[in-house]
Amino acid sequence: MDLAVIERSVALIGAIVVGVFASIALKEDWHAKGLDNNTTKLLLGLMAFGCIMVFFAAIGVIGPKG
């Protein structure tokens, strides 16, 4: 098995798992107030966006040409 395929598969599954957990955490903390909670929400949200990016990269939708 090609190493790249293994890496991509693990990344694909991981992106889904991590993304789901991050979204759950975001949902739970949605109404929390305070500078620390709001900063956490922002950063977790951006990180979840990162998971989405990895997901699309793993299935080849985004990425450098060729």
Partner 1 sequence: MTTAAVEHGHGPGDEHDHDDGHEEVIYRETTDMRLLGFVLFLCSDVVLFSAFIFAYLYLRGTVDEWPPILNGHQLPRLDLPFAEFNSIVLFGSGVTMHHALENWKHGKVGRFDFFMGFTIVLGVMFLGGQGYEYSHAAIGGWSGSIFGASFFTLTGMHGFHVFCGVVYLAILWWQTKQKHYDQTHYFGLTAGTLYWHFVDVIWVALFFLFYIF
Task: Give the residues lining the site for partner 1 (CB under 8 A).
Answer: 3-5, 7-8, 10-12, 14-15, 17-18, 21-22, 25, 35-36, 39-40, 43-44, 46-47, 49-51, 53-54, 57-58, 62-64
Residue 45: which residues within 8 A CB-CB, separation 6 or more?
22, 26
The residue behind tokens 């991509």 is 8
Length of the chain as a residue count: 66
Minimal distance in Å, beta carbon 52 to partner 1?
10
4 versus 30: smaller Cβ distance to partner 1: 4
Minimal distance in Å, beta carbon 31 to partner 1?
15
Q: How far apart are CA 37 and CA 44, in angstroms?
A: 10
